[in-house]
Amino acid sequence: MVIKRFRVMGRVQGVGFRYFVLREAANLGVDGWVRNCADGTVEALARGTTEDLGRLKERIQEGPRSSRVISVSVADGSDEDVPQGFEIRRDSF
């Protein structure tokens, strides 16, 4: 299992993006969380297989129809705060 931190830029707040990520992660069996950030981005921390996290990144890059993803950055994450299952966290404002 690996852990990755995703940062999504574009029109990703107010368009159902977090719920989209929640559904996609749950379908893949990925653990973690997603939240809005004060700078207008969406951040997600996810734990799963390399293949599943690759699929999650592909889905995040597409986003829901109402969004417009400009870029997705990916960095290694740490295990300190990954829950079982996947959840939407409070905004980091």
Candidates 5, 7, 11, 18; catalytic one? 18
Which one-letter amino acid corresponds to residue 15? V
Q: How many other CB atoms are found less than 10 A from the CB of residue 47?
A: 20
Candidates 36, 55, 59, 89; catalytic one? 36
Residue 18 among the catalytic residues: yes
Residue 27 among the catalytic residues: no
Do 10 and 40 form a contact (C-beta atoms < 8 A)? no
List C-alpha distances in Å: 39 to 14, 47, 77, 80, 93: 13, 24, 20, 24, 9
Residues with a catalytic annotation lie at 18, 36
